[in-house]
Amino acid sequence: MFEYKPRELNYSKVKTYKECPYLFKQKYVKGFKEGLIAASSLGVSVHRTLEAYHSTKSFNGILKFYNKYFISGGYQSAQEQMEYYLKGKEMLQEYAEKDAQRKSEVISTEKEFIFDYDEWTIRGKIDRIDKIGQDTWEVIDYKTDLEPPTDFKAKDSLQLGIYSVGAKRYWNMKEGKASIYFVSNNTKASADFKDFNEEEILETFIKTGELILKEEFKPNQEHCANCLLKNRCPNSTAKEEI
Ligand code: SF4
């Protein structure tokens, strides 16, 4: 059941607030669902497949899991669904081929951290955690964008930053790195835990949380074109003709 917890923060909430405070209100205060589109539907399918693949430690059947967890919703036509299905199939086959060379040990998938900081509770769910050496870890977030950004800098990522803070505070993982794994081209961008400024990251979270508590929910119409609520939002400047 939907419950709004203003004192609880995670990366998705902070990101959404920064994109558009009004969007934050719709999603997290009122509980509106954005709904699936092709890209997000494929993203959920791939995440579920990888969770099952690594949880079972059965390295032969990634496509078996994909067929089981592929979500058919969110596509505008059967043809679009098939196009995305095939893109997902290709990226997962390449993922499994690369994974066969992996030296690290996958120790968890979809694992949650939670810690209190001042009056706030901060939590997050990490797609995959690997042990990469003696008391050294890698926290990994999968991204399924079909065209991964070419200018992504891991050490500037707020998401990886809070994941590294969570790993250190909640699991006492002192040494390690945080990575985004771009599944569509099977590349990874990483930064060492020590590359992140914990104080700055937590300050960013808390400042955003304070604006949320003050209920400052003005629309940011610069984000409308990329917003999944653009056809339903009264403040949208990017409504499409249907
Ligand atoms: S459509 Fe525009 S104003 Fe409305 S929630 Fe989305 S980004 Fe904000």
Query: Mind spelling out the 3-state secondary structure of 163-175?
Result: HHHHHHHHHCCCE
pLDDT digits (tens, 9 = 90+) for 199-208: 999 999 999 9
Cα dihedral 233/125/186/45 (nearest 10): -60
CB–CB of 25/83 below 8 Å?
no
Confidence of residue 242 (pLDDT cuts 50, 70, 90): low
Confidence of residue 3 (pLDDT cuts 50, 70, 90): confident
Gyration radius of the chain's alpha carbons: 19
**Neighbouring C-beta atoms of residue 124, cutoff 10 Å:** 22
Please tell me the predicted confidence (pLDDT) of residue 27. Answer: 94
Confidence of residue 223 (pLDDT cuts 50, 70, 90): very high
Task: Give 3-state DSSP helix, strand, coil % of the chain, rounded to 5.
Answer: 45, 20, 35
pLDDT averaged over every residue in the chain: 95
Please tell me the predicted confidence (pLDDT) of residue 133. Answer: 96
Continuous segment of H or E residues that includes residue 143: strand 136-143
**Neighbouring C-beta atoms of residue 216, cutoff 10 Å:** 12
**Two tokens at 178?**
């945080």
202 Cβ inside 6 Å of ligand 1: no
Residue 79 CA to chain centroid, in angstroms? 27
Please tell me the predicted confidence (pLDDT) of residue 53. Answer: 94
229 Cβ inside 6 Å of ligand 1: yes
Q: Is the pLDDT of residue 1 over 80?
A: no
pLDDT digits (tens, 9 = 90+) for 160-216: 999 999 999 999 999 999 999 999 999 999 999 999 999 999 999 999 999 999 999
Please tell me the predicted confidence (pLDDT) of residue 58. Answer: 63
Region 105-204: CATH code: 3.90.320.10
Q: Quick one: which atom of ligand 1 is closest to the CA of 234?
A: 4
235 Cβ inside 6 Å of ligand 1: yes
pLDDT digits (tens, 9 = 90+) for 48-105: 999 999 988 665 689 999 999 999 999 999 999 999 999 999 999 999 999 999 999 9
Task: Give dist(CA 238, CA 231) in Å, integer.
Answer: 7
Please tell me the predicted confidence (pLDDT) of residue 206. Answer: 97
Task: Give dist(CA 127, CA 57) in Å, integer.
Answer: 15
Q: What percent of the chain has pLDDT over 70?
A: 98
Site to probe by mutation for ligand 1, drawn from 17, 18, 222, 224 as the one with most ligand atoms within 8 Å of Cβ, is 224
Please tell me the predicted confidence (pLDDT) of residue 57. Answer: 66
Q: Quick one: which atom of ligand 1 is closest to the CA of 21?
A: 8
Q: Is the pLDDT of residue 107 over 80?
A: yes
* Ligand 1 centroid distance, CA of 37 (Å): 17
